[in-house]
Structures are given as C-alpha cells and as structure tokens.
Structure 1
Amino acid sequence: MKITTSSIAFSLICLTLFTITLNSCKIKEKEKEKIETDVFSEADNIISSIKVLEFPDKTFNIVDFGAVADGETNNSAAIKKAIAACTEAGGGKVIIPSGKFLTGPIHLKSNVNLHLEEGAEVLFSKNSKDYLPVVHTSYEGQELMNYSPLIYAYKQNNIAVTGSGTFNGQAGTTNWWPWCGAERYGHLKDAPQQKDAHNLPRLWEMAENNTPVSERVFGEGHQLRPLFIQPFECENVLIQGVTFTNAPFWVIHPIKCNYVRVEGVTVNSHGPNNDGCDPEYSKNVHINKCVFNTGDDCIAIKSGRNNDGRRVNIPSENIVVENCDMKDGHGGVVMGSEISAGVRNVYVRNCKMNSPELDRAIRIKTNTLRGGFVENVYVKNIEVGQVKEAVLKINLFYAIYGPQEGNFMPVVKNIHLQDINVENGGKFGVLIKGRPQSFVKNVTLTNVHIKNAETDLSVENSEPIIFKNTTINGKSYENN
C-alpha cells in the first residue's frame, strides 16, 4: 500500500474535524448540564427582586374609628376612616383586632398594611348592593366595570394584607354562588345566571368589538360575581399569613401587577370558580408556603381571554411557586385557560400535591380562540400523593361554554419536569393533546417516577418527550 503525502494530509484533516466535532459535542453537553443546574438560580433572582415592604411605625385600630365586633354591625365606614387616616399620616398599619367584624368592600391605599390580629374574622356582606358603585375590574380574563372585589386596590404602591386572621366572603348557595348556573351551588331553574345573554355573552361581544372598558358596565341587574382580593395595576404587593374562605369567585387575583409576594396564606374555599391564586398580566410573583384547598385550580397563571388578552398584550412572566401544599382542586399549578397574551418563565419547586379531588398536578390549557403561548416552565422536587386524571396535562383543545375554535394557534414549548414522585397517577401519567399545526415542543421528564396510572402515556401532536431516568408503572422510559 502506497502512502502519499496527500493521503496523510487528508487523514490529518479528518482527524482534526473529528476532534473538533467531539469537543463541540462535549461543550454542548457541558452547556446543557450548566443550564439544567443553573435554571433555578433565575428563580432565586426573581425572589430577590421582590423587596421586603416597609411601612411607617404607626397603627390605626378600626375600633378607634367606631368599628363594632358583633358580627352584625356594618363596619364599612369605620374601616374606610381608618384607612384614610393611615394614608393621611403617610402610611402605617390598619389593625383589625380579635372579633367578628361585618363589612362591605375594603379599598386599600398606598403604604397601608391591613393587618388581622389573631382571632380576627372579617365577614363580608351578603348584600350585592353593598359592592356598588362599580369599579374597573375583570371577569374571566376580560375587563369591565362590575361589583367591587371584596378587597380591592387600584393603581396603588406598597400595599399589604397581613396577619393570622380570616377573611370570610360568606358566599354560599343562597348568595353569589347560584349565579354560576349550577344546581349544586344553589341555582334554581329559570333564575338569572352568568351565561344569560345580558351577562357573559354581552361581555364577550363587547370585548371582541373593542368597546372601551368604561362602557362595559355591569354590576346591579347582572350576575357576574366579584373577585375576593384584587390588586389591580399595583406595584409592591404583599399578602401574608391570612386565611380566605367562602369566596364568591377567584380568590387572590393580582392583575397587571409587578413585584408580588403571596406567603403563608391559606385558601380554603370550595365554591364555583374558587381558584386559589391567579396572577394575570403580572410579573415577578412569588407564591410561597401557602395551602390551597379549592373548588377550582389551586394556582392558575393567566393573561387575558381572547381579543381582550391580545388588546392588553402583557404576558405573565417570572413567577415562582414553592413550598406549597395543594389539596382539592382542578389542578395544582395551571397555566390558562385565559392565556391570550402568553405565559413564560414559571418555576415550581418543593411542593406537595395530594387529594382524591385533585384532578391534575401540572396543567396547561388553551385553544385557537385563546391562542397565546406557554414557554419555559420548570418543575422540580414535587411529591404527588394522588391525582384523578394526569400528572402532566397539556391540552390545546380546551373547551368551555361551547365550541372554542378560532384563528389564533397556541404555542407550547420548553416544559421540564424533574425529581417528581407520584404514588397514584390517575388515568394518565402524561396526557398531551397538541395540534397538527402546532406540535407541543421540548417536553422533558428527568427523574420522574409515576406509580399506579391507568395508562402510561397518551400523546398526540407533540415532539417526542425526552426521558431521563423516568419510570411509569415500573416501566423504564429512557431516550438513547
């Protein structure tokens, strides 16, 4: 065999190219490992960006402004006076002491910390007229003028609701809940309800036609329930330690807010649409050490419904959920279905999810009327005792209130689950329904172990799931 100079040169070139390729692969693998290692450091950065709120060392006890703790006297005026006095003094703490205090809606102002002492219970009026005049609020992802939320702050800065007491919305089968239209919540046949033509259909039409929010007037004569606590377009918000129960509708709803901390809160409310915490059009949100036992999603991250979401066009982003306990609910941590402006950068870690009435652990729901996107969702260190339907469900065909088909193709990508143990996985370990025109992309399961699921996987219109050290029903799933 004759060896020529040209053949030696060719061999050297091939060896060099092989070495470069090998080194490039090693670099990419190291970069991938670094990304996987460092991704939750970004969650830590988000948490650090949310400053600890400070308030002047001044206190304003509502009893000093005429409040009576008999559970019957309406203390709206006394609480309003205490908040006004606190505001005029430059801020401080408005104290609700031990006892039962009946009130209408509470409107917070900048630099006010509304504090419930141990044994305090705030009972909200059952009379819908007490929640008038209407205010700028929202209903299922669409803005409108409606009944005031029970606790409301509009365009305020540095506000807090703290303490160890209870806010009792007093909603039930005789007030607020029947308006949802379900018999089990007290609705009577032929009684008015939210799906009547003068309610939700009218709001949907107004939103699609870009009717100014100031002209979308509902309230009295309509059956759209108020939110429980809604900071609207606020910055630097703290909700800490308190308990919410018997909510008319969604419970904690920061909308168009920046720098929000929800910590040590208990939501124990099983009414219709009683979502626990729904950040919407909001960013830099930390939900920590909370307990959710709800009639709907425990946490649902949202960004507007249909045309209204596209009009506002503010994605919800940079949201960290950790150390929480999810019990009853339609989902543990959910994105959607009001999601038209998109959701990105969601971090979930160190949570427990367990209940025979918990439908899913992680859920993403949208359709071609909602559109929107969900990207960069990282879930780590989750203990799941029991779910009914699926550990992970991604559904791009979500439907409610009839057909939900339109011209806005949703995009879902970069969904990562790691270090998750599931004792009873429900009907499906993983359930994904993408669309032929929009495959779900880049779903990874690393160190995920699911037991007792009726079906391991049901996956349609999705890129292949990337598995690493994952088992479902004892079967090993591993990409080679």
Structure 2
Amino acid sequence: MHTNDLITDNLHIRLHLSDVEPPKPSQDGPTLVLASPLSGIDTPSPFQLLINGDPIPTISNIDYSYAYFSPAPGSFTIQISHPSAALQSCRITPLKLSITPQITAGVVTATLPSTGYYILKIDSYPELLLISEPREDHIPPPLGFRIHNVISAGAKDNNTSISATTAAFQTCIDAANAAGGGTVFVPAGLYSVGNLVLKSNVSLYLAAGSTLRFDPTYAYKIHWHKNSQGRRPITWWIATEFGSRNVKIFGRGVIDGNGVASARANIGNNLLVPISTSDFSCSGILFRNSASWAVTPVLVDGGEFRDVKFLNRFRDSGENDGIDVMHSSNILIHNAIGVGLDDPFSTKTWSASLSDIAVPWPIPADGLPGNDGVTFEQTLSWTICFGLKVGAGVWASQQNITFRRAVVYDCSIGIGIHFQAGDSWVRGVGFEDVDVEGVTWTNMNMRTWCAFFVTGGTDPTDGAQAAIGNVSVQDVRVRDKGQTTAQLVGRNDGKGKLRGVLFNNVTLPDGERAKDLDEMGFTGGVRFAENIRVI
C-alpha cells in the first residue's frame, strides 16, 4: 500500500490512495441520475419517468419540471405516467426532429434519438424538460497528485457551515494555483458556499450529484447595484481573478442561485462571472434559479461554454437572463438550453462611466472593447422575452455575432437586435438554421418572430454609417409569426438607420417559403431601413 501526503496550507492528511480508485467512466449500464430533488428544498414533480426502464426522479421548478440524467450511448426510450391521471397527449420539442410519442393506457412512450435537451408538453400540465447528457469522457480522481478535495479541506456537504465550507473551497483553489495548476474536486453533496474567486490554471470539478447553493442570509460581497431593479445589490457569486488565464469549471454538478429566496431578501446574484480572463472554459454545468443574470462573461478573450444549462424561473426572481456576453471576443456557446423570464442568450455592451454594471470592472486604459466573434450554436430557448438577442446596450461595437442551429420554444420576440442605449453600432449578425416554434408572450407591446429595431441611443461616433447593419437571416422556420408586426426600424434617416438585411429561405407557418416582407409580417413595420432583400 502506498500513501500520498496532501498538504493544503496547514492541513496535512495521509490518504491511502489504493483505497480510493479513480472513477472509470462507463459507457454502458443503467441510466445515471445526475440530480435528485434536494431534501427539504425541492418538490418532486407529479410525473413518473423511466429511461430505458430505469426510474429517474423528476424535479418541480414551479413553472415546469425537469429530469437530469445520463443514459447509455445511442437512442433511448422514455416512459412517462401520472399517478392519478391517464395521459392523453404529448408534443416533443424540438419539433423539427418529428418525434411521435405513443400513448397507451394513459402512458406516454417515445424513443429519443440521442442525448440532448427536450421539452415535453403533456396535456395541460406544466412542461417536462428532459436534460440528458452523454457519459463523461474524463472524471478526475477524487484524490491524488494536484487534486484538491474540498471535503479533505474541511467543506461540509450537508448545506451547513457556509463560512468553513467557503474557506475550504477557496483554500483548495489557492493551493492549486500556487502549485502551478491543479483540480479542485467537489464530490456529490449539497454545499452552502459564499463568494469564490477562481485563479489561473485551476480546474473546478463538480461531480454528478453535487450542488453549490446560494444562501441569501450570508454576507456576500456586493459588487454592484442594478438600477432597473430599484438599485438591488448584486454579488458575483463565483468569479475569476482579474488577469487570470486557463480557468476551467466542469462536471455534471449544479450551481443553484436560490433565486426566489434571494429576490425576497433583496439580493441578486450573478452565478458565474468570468471577467478579465483568457482561455476560459465551462462545460456540463447546470445553472439553476439565479436572482439576476446567471452567467456574465466580461472582458474575456477566448471562452467556451459547452453542454451548459440555464434553468431559471418565470416569476419571483427578477431579471434572470441565462448568459450575457459582454465586451468579449472569440466566445463559443455550444449545446445549451436556456429557460427563464428574461433573455436566455444575448450579447450586450455598456458605458464605462454611465452603466451600473460596469462600476467594479477593471476598465482597460484604452476603454471597453466591443463584442467580436461570439457564436451561439445548438441552443434551445424558452422565455417571456427575446429567444435570441443582440442588445439592448450598444455602448461599444458588436460585430460577428452568430446564432446557429437554434430552437425557440416560446418567447415574445423570436430573434432580435435591440439598440436601446449607446453611441456605437451593431454589424455582421447572423441568424442561421433557427426554428421559431412559439410566440405566445407579449413584451414591450411586441409579440413577433423577428424585430431589429432602435429605440434610443445616439448615432455612431466612430464613422460607422448605420446603427445596425449587415444582418443575415437564413434557413429559418417560422411556425408562429406572433400577433404584432415584425420590425425593421432604425433611429433616423441618417447614421441611425438600419442598413443591409438579407432574408434567405424563411419558411412560414403554412410551410411555404417567404417571397417578400409582407408575407413575413413586416407590413407597416419597416422605417428608416434600406437595402432589405428577400431571396
């Protein structure tokens, strides 16, 4: 038997590594449960779910319920029943997959083609979300060389001792950074955690079954105050150190903002704030119930967010965007689901001197850069606001923004560019292979599949000739156009205009390809706009 000395500051524990075998990721076997209802916190949903015959718990999030699991590779079967009712109907999103469920004796069955994110509308019940993930390619060992286990450092996994648990997490992060790099391992459990600062060359691994939970009674650091919510104090719950690089957070764990309780306590939380960092990555994490914008990359040069989930409420938590990319470049969001009141997927830019959010930022000497090179790819959006959005702040340029292979389950505006404030411009935005399934909400007096519009700000100050320009909308399926006029509206007939929009292969609810703006619902909604083409 051999041993390894794990030294974390003053902590010195002898660990028998032969007794702790590294997990070996299995690609077969029964379906893995990635999250269960938290005792005393969550309520199970009424649905009973089997995946490949294995019982999987479902969790109610009031407005919908969800299950989080990992089946064996390939297609998998689902079976859904209700203990007190015979189910009669079921529709499965993405509709473009044409999945036809069978209903026999009140039980829904279907075969899903692969892991991914699905929304099931069953009878008149709140929707059921199936959050299915492939098996993990690499699970780090819980102990070993450059592995820093938070339990070994004194963290409590039973939702108690927030100060000690926070100190244990930060001690592990600091030790990994001081050693030149390492992995902070968070085993399954429920951790009440305060503010954390992630540092260079540190990987934070959240194992399946682990949940970090926000406690609004704790004295979190207040980073800024949000004007649109009555100057509500906002904390960066988990953030990167300014100037850091090569920071990673991964696994199948949950980061829970405890949004309803936090909003009632009048504190908002940005769950994850990668800021002033480069080569950042986040993969596999489920972000739940934020009480402000959940994930906010700011001043990030090179960042990837893969297989991420933003499951927020539609009420009682305030403005709870999914991910808002700000003043960053070379950002990829791939395979993501965003659910909540506010915009799930958006880009924004702000004023260094006039914006509430920018107060704690490390402003570069030459000012805030714009957004350049941001791609949202393979997303599923469900919101009361914009399904996919650029804006509303345009205080610095926003260019080369792409939304590709997206499904909008429901919204008030399916695809949008909103220039509400600022003195810069938006250029080079693409909406490609988008399926707008539903537009049943009304926001800003709008209920439409498409709106590119200017409602404020001033003309560009850097020589640009249009407030919004060079926009491409192609291979878009519009199943629901909404009930209000679609919008292509500039600020004025000068530099504030909207210039250059291409609609290519837009399919309307009747299944026909649109031939002109009127067919797409823009009649009366085009002002201060030029060079608009439909092909």
Q: Deviations over 1:144-181 (max 9, x none)?
A: 9x754111112211001111010111121x433564xx
How does 1:127-166 map onto structure 2 within 5 Å? 127=217, 129=219, 131-132=220-221, 134=222, 148-155=235-242, 156-166=244-254
Task: Name the amino acid aligned to 1:263.
Answer: R
Report deviation, 1:420: 0.6
Percent identity, aligned pairs only, is 20
Structure-2 change in CA distance of 1:62 and 1:68 (3 Å): same
Higher relative contact order (CA 8 A, sep 6+): 1
TM-score computed with the length of structure 1 as normaliser: 0.69
Q: Deviations over 1:403-430 (max 9, x none)?
A: xx66768710011100111111112473
User: Partner of 1:168 in structure 2?
Assistant: 256
User: Residue 238 of structure 1: SS of its match in structure 2?
Assistant: strand
Separation of aligned partners in 2, 1:177 and 1:163: 30
Whether 2:158 is the aligned partner of 1:103: answer: no
Question: Conserved in 1, the CA contact under 8 Å of 2:459 and 2:467?
Answer: no
Task: Name the amino acid aligned to 1:375.
Answer: R
Structure-2 change in CA distance of 1:177 and 1:387 (3 Å): farther
User: Partner of 1:463 in structure 2?
Assistant: 530
User: Partner of 1:227 in structure 2?
Assistant: 270
User: Partner of 1:384 in structure 2?
Assistant: 436
Task: Name the amino acid aligned to 2:322.
Answer: G
User: Partner of 1:477 in structure 2?
Assistant: none
TM-score computed with the length of structure 2 as normaliser: 0.62
Report deviation, 1:87: 1.5
1:278 to 324, 348, 351: 324
Whether 2:389 is the aligned partner of 1:353: answer: no
Question: Conserved in 2, the CA contact under 8 Å of 1:298 and 1:329?
Answer: no
Question: Conserved in 1, the CA contact under 8 Å of 2:378 and 2:405?
Answer: yes
User: Partner of 1:304 in structure 2?
Assistant: 350
Which has more strand, going by share of residues? Answer: 2
Structure-2 change in CA distance of 1:360 and 1:426 (3 Å): same
Structure-2 change in CA distance of 1:308 and 1:408 (3 Å): farther
Separation of aligned partners in 2, 1:323 and 1:90: 35
User: Partner of 1:336 in structure 2?
Assistant: 391
Work out the number of aligned pairs and report it: 355
Structure with bigger gyration radius? 1
Structure-2 change in CA distance of 1:258 and 1:57 (3 Å): farther
User: Residue 151 of structure 2: SS of its match in structure 1?
Assistant: helix
User: Residue 150 of structure 1: SS of its match in structure 2?
Assistant: strand
User: Partner of 2:125 in structure 1?
Assistant: none
How does 1:11-26 map onto structure 2 within 5 Å? none
Question: Conserved in 1, the CA contact under 8 Å of 2:236 and 2:273?
Answer: yes
Question: Conserved in 2, the CA contact under 8 Å of 1:291 and 1:324?
Answer: yes
User: Partner of 1:73 in structure 2?
Assistant: 161
Question: Conserved in 2, the CA contact under 8 Å of 1:283 and 1:318?
Answer: yes
Unaligned runs of 5+ in 1: 1-54, 180-222, 399-404, 469-480
Which has more helix, going by share of residues? Answer: 1
Q: Deviations over 1:179-220 (max 9, x none)?
A: 4xxxxxxxxxxxxxxxxxxxxxxxxxxxxxxxxxxxxxxxxx
User: Partner of 1:254 in structure 2?
Assistant: 297
User: Partner of 1:375 in structure 2?
Assistant: 427
Task: Name the amino acid aligned to 1:96.
Answer: V
2:478 to 419, 422, 425: 422
Separation of aligned partners in 1, 2:214 and 2:167: 13
Separation of aligned partners in 1, 2:414 and 2:190: 36
User: Partner of 2:469 in structure 1?
Assistant: 413
Separation of aligned partners in 2, 1:414 and 1:407: 17
Structure-2 change in CA distance of 1:429 and 1:237 (3 Å): farther
Separation of aligned partners in 2, 1:68 and 1:436: 59
Whether 2:460 is the aligned partner of 1:393: answer: no
2:418 to 353, 359, 365: 365
Separation of aligned partners in 2, 1:307 and 1:244: 30
Structure-2 change in CA distance of 1:148 and 1:272 (3 Å): closer
Question: Conserved in 2, the CA contact under 8 Å of 1:363 and 1:394?
Answer: yes
Question: Conserved in 2, the CA contact under 8 Å of 1:65 and 1:78?
Answer: yes
CA RMSD across the alignment: 2.8
Question: Conserved in 1, the CA contact under 8 Å of 2:269 and 2:294?
Answer: no
Report deviation, 1:266: 0.4
Question: Conserved in 2, the CA contact under 8 Å of 1:391 and 1:429?
Answer: no
Whether 2:338 is the aligned partner of 1:292: answer: yes
Question: Conserved in 2, the CA contact under 8 Å of 1:325 and 1:352?
Answer: yes
